[in-house]
């Protein structure tokens, strides 16, 4: 029997504890908060999007994709689905996204805690680990009042996104003290900011778009879906899915621009869009330009885009010269927005960066620096897109560490 300590009762910590307890090991979870799974409860707007059957690697971002490919295997994916089945979670599947049928994140959290209790796992709350010492092949894990000794240690302290949930980045210091390096953490899955005067006018509008991310003049990524226009810039799932790249570029003081296609369902070039509006203008006689776009686009947005093109929405389309028609069409299909900042760690869902995958054994999540130490979850350099990928990685990495310990 081994004494196993897990630091952090989040998604990856709870699942790793359950697997580690399977061979009569004595398992203790140390959690700084007075309750467990604080971040897990917030996920998916309280519904917990805990899995995605489309585990294509393009939905994950890391400096070491080849290693990640060996972690997110088909076998590991199947094992996680069997695990949730086994702890009684019935999924509600929307496209490829999994939620508990209750649509409540608390169902996932309670099922994990109940399983932990049944396996005799001890959870010590209000235990903030601030020091780890390795001595005689054991770990001395200290808070400012107590210390606990373990044969095996799993660090599952998360990142520094949304720090009020307890994962405030102190885990990076803990692993650094054990000779690990850290790829600079940056906010990921965040809203993007600009400095435009028209933001206060477009605040509150939601509309379907295609976003193209440009570094200097090179297009590097595209995402489609609904965006929310805000008083500081843009938000929404498709914005979040670009933000991981944006934060890295801004951190390197690079120029970042997003081109917004406000009419993504009209697959037209600028010239063809002008012809389309010409025809619409002939058909819908006596309408001003603003009225020509009725039903095509949010009317408030039409006025903003026309004003930004320096065109009075009350004018007739026939009154515009070719240059003005081109400008209107460009602002509808390729509206250019300079991105100057992102929301902070406080508002980020996850962080990029963390412990490089080159410093762990991909089969077991065991540290290649310290024997008996395991690192799991968001503390590692893996960030997933929106859609359940971050929890997917937390489950798989946690399961691998716990299993490696119980198989030992």
Q: Is 150 or 328 the residue whose CB approaches ligand FAD more closely?
A: 150
CB distance 256 to 241 below 8 Å: no
Instruction: Output 14 or 234, the one with its CB closest to ligand FAD.
Output: 14
| Residues between 103 and 142 that touch ligand FAD (CB under 6 A) | 127-129
Question: Measured from the CB of residue 280, what is the shortest distance to ligand FAD in angstroms?
Answer: 41
| Beta strand segments in 242-369, E | 256-261, 335-339, 341-342, 350-354
Residues 40-69 that bind ligand FAD (CB under 6 A): 40, 42-44, 48-49
231 contacts 192 by C-beta, under 8 angstroms = no
Residue 129 or 238 having the CB closest to ligand FAD = 129
Place of tokens 């369902």: 265
Q: Is 160 in the site for ligand FAD (CB under 6 A)?
A: no
- Tokens 């412990």 map to which residue? 355
**Which ranges of 87-127 does DSSP label H, i.e. alpha helix?**
105-118
Token duo for residue 141: 């894990």
Is 349 near ligand FAD (CB under 6 A)?
A: yes
- Residues between 139 and 158 that touch ligand FAD (CB under 6 A): 156-158
Is the CB of 116 or the CB of 305 nearer to ligand FAD?
Answer: 116
Kindly indicate which of the ranges 39-47, 196-204, 249-257, 262-270 contains the residues binding ligand FAD, using the contact rule CB under 6 A.
39-47
| Alpha carbons 107 and 113: distance in angstroms, whole number | 10
The SS3 of residue 363 is: coil
The stretch near ligand FAD (CB under 6 A) out of 163-171, 235-243, 275-283, 288-296 is: 163-171
Of residues 366-385, those binding ligand FAD (CB under 6 A): 377-378
CA 360 – CA 302 distance, rounded (Å): 52
Least separation in angstroms between residue 152's CB and ligand FAD is 17
Which residues, in sequence order, are bridge partners of residue 339? 256
Q: Considering the complex, state which of residue 328 and residue 373 has its C-beta at the smaller distance from ligand FAD.
A: 373
Q: How many residues bind ligand FAD (CB under 6 A)?
A: 41
Position 389 contacts ligand FAD (CB under 6 A): yes
Cβ of residue 250: shortest distance to ligand FAD, in angstroms?
A: 21
Q: Compute the distance between CA of residue 270 and CA of residue 282 in angstroms, rounded to an integer.
A: 19
Using CB under 6 A as the binding rule, the residues of this chain from 2 to 31 that contact ligand FAD are: 7-13, 30-31
HSE-CB at 44 with a 13 A cutoff on CA atoms is 25
261 phi and psi angles, rounded to 5 deg: -95, 105
Both tokens of residue 4?
A: 């196993």
Q: Which stretch binds ligand FAD (CB under 6 A): 131-139, 197-205, 360-368, 390-398?
A: 390-398
Residues 198-227 that bind ligand FAD (CB under 6 A): none
Closest separation between CB of residue 151 and ligand FAD, Å?
Answer: 19
Q: What is the number of residues in the chain? A: 408
Return phi, psi of residue 23, to 5°: -115, 45
d(CA 359, CA 244): 22
Question: Cβ distance 246 to 192 under 8 Å?
Answer: yes
Site for ligand FAD in 69-108 (CB under 6 A): none
Taking the least distance from each CB to ligand FAD, the nearer of 160 and 325 is 160
Q: Residue 300 CB, nearest distance to ligand FAD (Å)? A: 28
Whether the Cβ atoms of residue 251 and residue 243 lie closer than 8 Å to each other: no
**Using CB under 6 A as the criterion, which residues of the chain lie in contact with ligand FAD when the complex forms?**
7-13, 30-33, 38-40, 42-44, 48-49, 127-129, 156-158, 161-162, 165-167, 170-171, 349-350, 377-378, 388-391, 394
């Amino acid at each position: 029997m081994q004494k196993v300590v897990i630091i952090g009762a989040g998604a990856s910590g709870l699942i790793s504890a359950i697997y580690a307890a399977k061979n009569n090991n004595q398992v203790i979870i140390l959690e700084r908060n007075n309750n467990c799974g604080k971040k897990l409860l917030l996920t998916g707007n309280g519904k917990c999007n805990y899995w995605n059957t489309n585990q294509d690697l393009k939905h994950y971002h890391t400096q070491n994709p080849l290693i990640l490919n060996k972690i997110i295997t088909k076998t590991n994916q199947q094992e996680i689905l069997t695990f949730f089945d086994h702890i009684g979670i019935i999924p509600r599947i929307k496209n490829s996204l999994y939620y508990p049928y209750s649509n409540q994140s608390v169902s996932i959290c309670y099922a994990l805690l109940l399983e932990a209790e049944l396996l005799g796992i001890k959870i010590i709350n209000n235990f903030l680990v601030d020091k780890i010492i390795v001595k005689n092949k054991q770990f001395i894990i200290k808070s400012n009042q107590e210390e606990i000794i373990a044969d095996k240690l799993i660090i599952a302290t998360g990142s520094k996104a949304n720090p009020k949930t307890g994962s405030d980045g102190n885990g990076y210091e803990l692993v650094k003290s054990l000779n690990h390096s850290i790829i600079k953490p940056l906010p990921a899955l965040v809203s993007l900011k600009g400095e435009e005067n028209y933001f206060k006018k477009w605040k509150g509008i939601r509309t379907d778009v295609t976003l193209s991310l440009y570094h200097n003049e090179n297009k590097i990524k595209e995402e489609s879906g609904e965006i929310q226009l805000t008083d500081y810039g843009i938000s929404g799932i498709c914005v979040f899915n670009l933000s991981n790249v944006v934060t890295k570029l801004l951190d390197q003081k690079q120029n970042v621009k997003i081109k917004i296609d406000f009419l993504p369902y009209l697959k037209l070039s600028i010239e063809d869009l002008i012809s389309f509006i010409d025809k619409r203008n002939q058909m819908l006689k006596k309408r001003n330009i603003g009225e020509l776009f009725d039903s095509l686009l949010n009317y408030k947005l039409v006025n903003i885009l026309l004003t930004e093109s320096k065109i009075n929405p009350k004018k007739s389309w026939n009154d515009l010269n070719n240059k003005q028609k081109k400008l209107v069409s460009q602002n509808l299909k390729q509206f250019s927005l300079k991105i100057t900042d992102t929301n902070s760690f406080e508002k980020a869902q996850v962080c990029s960066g963390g412990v490089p995958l080159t410093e762990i054994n991909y089969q077991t999540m065991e540290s290649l620096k310290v024997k008996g130490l395991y690192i799991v979850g968001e503390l590692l350099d893996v960030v997933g897109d929106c859609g359940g990928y971050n929890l997917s990685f937390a489950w798989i990495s946690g399961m691998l560490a716990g299993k490696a310990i119980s198989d030992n």
